[in-house]
Amino acid sequence: MLFRFIIFVLMVFGKSVSAQDCWLFLSPSLKYEDFANICTTAPVGYSSWFHAVGVEDWNLDVSQPHWIDSTWCYTKHLETLAVTCDTSDLDSALVENTDSTQKVYYDQITMMQGEQWIDQGFTGKGVVIGVLDAGFVGFFNDSMFQHIISEGRVLGVYDFVEKDNNVERQSNHGTSVMSCLAGKDNVQQLGLAVNSQFLLARAEQASSSRLVKEVRWVEALEWAVDKGAQIITSSLIYSNQLYRRTQMNGSSLISRAAEKAFLEKNVLVLNSAGNADQGPWEIIGAPGDAPHVLTVGACEPNGLKCDFSSVGPTHDLRMKPNVVAKGVVFVSANNEMSYEQGTSFSCPLVAGFVACMKEQHPEWKASDLFDQVQIASDLYPYYDYAHGFGIPQASYFLGQEIDTLANYEFFTEDLSDQLTEIRVVHWSPVTADSLENEELFYFHIERENGVLHEYWVAQPNAEGSLGMYEFKKHAPCIVRVSNKKQMAIWKFE
């Protein structure tokens, strides 16, 4: 009797190990419509771009049919995985409707010089933006979006979880994201793409398996692109919920789909960097690890990275994030204003900025938008793995005078064979005690292969010293120091 029980347990265990959640990449000769006729396993979903079917509990022990070119499988896990866009609610206040003509632009816009876009009449008009999120509860009744709804600029909605046209489910996270992208009433403006057109996709559910999460996001991306989206913004981040750190090299199907959108569909995908820097994961998740996804981190009012904002590089040592924007922002959801934090909100802020770029230059391709928004950022050509190229600045596109605190010169002084000091010439200490007015200097040591060895952010002391560093120890290398477009570069052989 005991022997039979052991055999039964081994059989059940063996079956559970061999049954895995898989992407089945179908042979070109098999149409997806014919899949159900030859396979008894119901599909979770389908990617037309990859001609691949997502299937749960696929048995890998048996001989695979000829109509499957290859498989990509996950080891079966019993636990479900939580939603990937958690944020913190810091404060709340009611939205007040008023007839005042005095507009309010919050620093989440002005840090990007967004008021210059507004003053020049650029509002993202004519640009189609796809928004992938966990739910849009309260969107159609929120006062911040009536300008969009009344003009019929929501071109389509779809819930990829429930498979219907109701996206006002589960979460108001997407509604808050939309407010950072295009929120506006007759007084307040929260985002820059107020005259764009939108496709809203619910692509995430509160708990689901690894495969389901991938399928829903890829399906939503393909739907939005097929519906005409020119820009995609997603505040869904897939990291330790699905992957290992070593897989953050752009190889996941989510990241490959985002890359395909860029390279083959001429669509720029923006994605939040993630809020993992204070935990064991730390690094940017998918699809932000894809080479041509514009990955957006979060920064404080003085430009310094928010503590929570995930960092780069990718596992294969590519530079991420690409840019940053304000990470503690005002949002609207269900006709209530709240003060929230997260890269979930810095990403749509930049998406609205890019929509204004696209309106100004409708002929620009996704590659132009990707390159130019980085060049327009306030630290370029300096970069690091926390701030990317910095905060995008509208003055770059509008011929406006760049607002700099001062014009400085930098020099180095060798204190020993290895120890070098960086000093700011004509430095006078900032007297304001608020973080917003602190003047920060960013500098890094770059290896010959382009990989950063180290990077810092410093505020000069009373003598203008940025500190003493062992540059020659790391030679050959390049050292860059930057502050508001002012750059010094030294090469150490």
**pTM of the prediction?**
0.90
**138-165 pLDDT per residue, tens:** 999 999 999 999 999 999 999 999 999 9
Q: What angle do CA 229, 181, 305 make, to 5 degrees?
A: 115
pLDDT at 226: 98
- C-alpha distances in angstroms, 112 versus 208, 227, 324, 396, 403? 37, 29, 10, 11, 12
**In this model, does residue 373 exceed pLDDT 90?**
yes
- Asked if residue 140 and residue 51 are part of one domain, the reply reads no
**In this model, does residue 431 exceed pLDDT 60?**
no
- The answer to the question of residue 355 being in a domain is yes
- What value does the mean pLDDT of the chain take? 86
Conformation bin of residue 256: beta by default, left when phi > 0, alpha when psi is -120 to 50: alpha
- Asked if residue 162 and residue 298 are part of one domain, the reply reads yes
Cα torsion 143, 148, 151, 153: sign = negative
- Asked if residue 224 and residue 107 are part of one domain, the reply reads yes
pLDDT at 452: 95
Last residue in a domain, options 398, 427, 442 = 398
- Asked if residue 301 and residue 197 are part of one domain, the reply reads yes
The answer to whether 47 touches 32, Cβ cutoff 8 Å, is: no
Q: Which of 130, 132, 138, 134 is nearest to 86 (CA)?
A: 134
Q: Is the peptide bond before 313 cis (omega within 30 degrees of 0)?
A: yes
321 versus 73: the higher-pLDDT residue is: 321
- Asked if residue 65 and residue 112 are part of one domain, the reply reads no
**In this model, does residue 11 exceed pLDDT 50?**
no
The answer to whether 66 touches 27, Cβ cutoff 8 Å, is: yes
- Asked if residue 477 and residue 354 are part of one domain, the reply reads no
The total domain count for the chain is 3
CATH of the domain at 467: 2.60.40
- The answer to the question of residue 365 being in a domain is yes
- The answer to the question of residue 404 being in a domain is no
- The answer to the question of residue 11 being in a domain is no
- Asked if residue 66 and residue 126 are part of one domain, the reply reads no
Gap between the Cα atoms of 175 and 326, Å rounded = 18
- The answer to the question of residue 9 being in a domain is no
Looking up tokens 């509860």, which residue turns up? 137
**408-426 pLDDT per residue, tens:** 788 888 898 888 899 888 7
CATH of the domain at 184: 3.40.50.200
The answer to whether 272 touches 234, Cβ cutoff 8 Å, is: yes
pLDDT at 75: 65
- Asked if residue 387 and residue 415 are part of one domain, the reply reads no
- The answer to the question of residue 381 being in a domain is yes
405 versus 104: the higher-pLDDT residue is: 104
- Asked if residue 308 and residue 186 are part of one domain, the reply reads yes
> Residues for the chain: how many in total?
493
- The answer to the question of residue 455 being in a domain is yes
First to last CA, the chain: 77
Most confident of 41-55, 238-252, 271-285: 41-55
418 versus 394: the higher-pLDDT residue is: 394
Residue 98: how many other CB atoms lie within 10 Å:
10
Gap between the Cα atoms of 158 and 93, Å rounded = 30
pLDDT at 218: 97
**445-485 pLDDT per residue, tens:** 999 888 999 999 998 888 889 988 888 888 899 999 988 76
- Asked if residue 417 and residue 329 are part of one domain, the reply reads no
- The answer to the question of residue 10 being in a domain is no
Convert 204-215 to b/e letters by CB count within 10 Å (16 or more is b). bbeebbbbbbbb
Cα torsion 317, 322, 328, 334: sign = negative
Going by pLDDT thresholds of 50, 70 and 90, the confidence category of residue 402 is: low
Least confidently predicted of 37-41, 256-260, 373-377, 453-457 = 37-41
Residue 399: how many other CB atoms lie within 10 Å:
8
Residue 156 in tokens: 């389509």
- Asked if residue 470 and residue 335 are part of one domain, the reply reads no
pLDDT at 180: 97
For residue 415, give its domain range: 409-492
The answer to whether 252 touches 238, Cβ cutoff 8 Å, is: yes
Gap between the Cα atoms of 42 and 224, Å rounded = 24
pLDDT at 485: 67
Q: Which of 431, 414, 432 is nearest to 422 (CA)?
A: 414
Going by pLDDT thresholds of 50, 70 and 90, the confidence category of residue 92 is: very low
- Asked if residue 177 and residue 35 are part of one domain, the reply reads no
Least confidently predicted of 63-72, 226-235, 384-393 = 63-72
Last residue in a domain, options 398, 427, 448 = 398
